[in-house]
Amino acid sequence: IAREESEAERAQRAQEQAAVVTSLASALSSLSEGNLQSQISETFPADYEQLRKDFNAAVASLSETLGQVRTGSDAMRTGADEIAHASDDLSRRTEQQAASLEETAAALDEITATVKTTAAGARRASETVALAKSEAVRSGEVVAQAVQAMGDIKTSSQEISQIIGVIDEIAFQTNLLALNAGVEAARAGDAGRGFAVVAQEVRALAQRSAQAAKEIKSLISASSQQVGQGVELVGETGRALDKIVAQVADIDALISEIAASAQEQATGLAEVNTAVNQMDQVVQQNAAMVEQSTAATHALKSETAELNRLISRFRTGAVQGSGRPAPQPATPDATPRPSPARAATRRIAETFGATALKSAEDGWEEF
């Protein structure tokens, strides 16, 4: 009886073990297929009930953990997508900004060279005007000397005219004396005939002298009048040269100011050009860093997608999706602001002409 009872108890335990193993095998098979919702609902014998509870607790804990991992993976995937999109956009805009800044730097180089050339030309013009001013001053001095010389000529002509007047009076007196001598010779008869011939010749010579003196006086008078007109013309020329000298002095002052302003503009543009070149280097470095960040972001996105694919093999019963909200469109506060560099470029184009900056202006995009 004891042996039969022992064998019956052993058979019962073997049957209970077979049932427990079958239930565990079925649950483990379902678990191996990724079903984390598998639970052993059948009650095990008292000796194996704790095993069922431990199995169910372990599966529940694993399901909860993987559910949280899935939620985090979805959030990571959404965040990685957003970061990748933002990185791509940032990379594209940074490249465009770098290209635009490079074009702006090139245009500023051209403008700086042009302003330097203008400053050099203004300097040469200032030197030329200063030389013209000195020549005009010297011409004014020459004209003043010419005016003085013409005045001296006019004075000499007046003195010559007075001398010619004296000669004319002498000829007139000689003519009277020759006439008296002829009268006296006629009274003397044959004795005074030779003296009368001499008196006639003297009278003719006096008349010719008087005629020549009259002609010379007329010429001297006309010459004095012409000299007087020449003196007035030379005087007007001198006054005109004085005005020209004053105007040349004003032009010299203006061109000197223009040359100084052009030099200051060249210095300022050189500083701006240096700053823009430094900005260009920094933006190029930023573009390289953004490119590296974009590559790392895409790698993170790929790793996140792979992690999400691996986790998706398990069925936890949780609702799939990210705990983070979807990307929101840009708010009014996030709209692009006007670029200060673009405004500076526009002002430079308005000042020096838009030809040099047209290519840079066409390539700008708000960043």
SS3 of residue 196 by DSSP: helix
**315 strand-pairing partners:** 35
Q: Is residue 25 part of a domain?
A: no
Are the C-beta atoms of residues 175 and 203 closer than 8 Å to each other?
yes
Q: How many domains does the chain have?
A: 1
* Span 230-289, pLDDT tens digits: 778 877 887 887 888 788 888 888 888 887 888 888 788 888 888 888 887 888 888 888
CA distances from 21 to 13, 15, 29, 49, 50 (A): 12, 10, 12, 12, 14
The model carries a pTM of 0.46
Q: Is residue 328 part of a domain?
A: yes
Q: Token digits for 87?
A: 């990185």
Amino acid type, 340: P
Average model confidence (pLDDT) for the chain? 76
Does the pLDDT of residue 365 top 50, yes or no?
A: no
Residue found under tokens 């030329």? 128
Structural domain boundaries enclosing 217: 34-362
Q: Is residue 8 part of a domain?
A: no
Task: Name the H helices within the chain.
Answer: 2-32, 49-188, 193-311, 340-352, 358-362
* Average of per-residue pLDDT across 71-76: 81
CA atoms within 13 A on the CB side of 253: 5
DSSP state of 35: B
CA distances from 274 to 38, 112, 132, 259, 264 (A): 71, 11, 38, 22, 15
User: What pLDDT is stored for residue 298 in this prediction?
Assistant: 83
Q: Is residue 262 part of a domain?
A: yes
Integer Cα distance of 232 and 224 in angstroms = 12
Q: Is residue 12 part of a domain?
A: no
**Lowest-confidence region among 49-53, 133-137, 192-196:** 192-196
CATH of the domain at 74: 1.10.287.950
* Span 225-245, pLDDT tens digits: 787 787 788 778 878 878 887
Instruction: Report the candidate in 233, 234, 215, 225 with the shortest Cα–Cα distance to residue 158.
Output: 225
* Average of per-residue pLDDT across 12-38: 82
Q: Is residue 135 part of a domain?
A: yes
Residues of 83-106 as b/e, b for ≥16 C-beta within 10 angstroms?
bbeebeebbebbebbbbbbbbbbb
User: What pLDDT is stored for residue 165 in this prediction?
Assistant: 79
Q: Could you tell me what percent of the chain has a pLDDT over 70?
A: 86
Burial class (CB in 10 A: 0-12, 13-18, 19+), 326: exposed
User: What pLDDT is stored for residue 323 in this prediction?
Assistant: 44
User: What pLDDT is stored for residue 285 in this prediction?
Assistant: 84
Does the pLDDT of residue 83 top 80, yes or no?
A: yes
Q: Is residue 189 part of a domain?
A: yes
Are the C-beta atoms of residues 94 and 283 closer than 8 Å to each other?
yes
* Span 153-202, pLDDT tens digits: 878 777 887 887 788 788 788 878 877 877 777 777 777 777 777 777 88
Q: Token digits for 346?
A: 């526009």
User: What pLDDT is stored for residue 343 in this prediction?
Assistant: 54
* Average of per-residue pLDDT across 145-157: 79
Long-range contacts of 246-251 (CB under 8 A, 24+ apart): 248/129, 248/132, 248/133, 248/136, 249/133, 251/129
Integer Cα distance of 38 and 18 in angstroms = 19
Beta carbons within 10 angstroms of residue 261's beta carbon: 13
Burial class (CB in 10 A: 0-12, 13-18, 19+), 43: exposed
User: What pLDDT is stored for residue 357 in this prediction?
Assistant: 43
User: What pLDDT is stored for residue 245 in this prediction?
Assistant: 79
* Average of per-residue pLDDT across 218-223: 80
Q: Could you tell me what percent of the chain has a pLDDT over 90?
A: 0
User: What pLDDT is stored for residue 350 in this prediction?
Assistant: 57
Does the pLDDT of residue 2 top 70, yes or no?
A: yes
Q: Is residue 152 part of a domain?
A: yes
CA distances from 65 to 61, 73, 314 (A): 6, 12, 11
* Span 294-353, pLDDT tens digits: 888 888 888 888 887 877 777 766 555 444 444 444 443 444 444 444 555 555 555 555
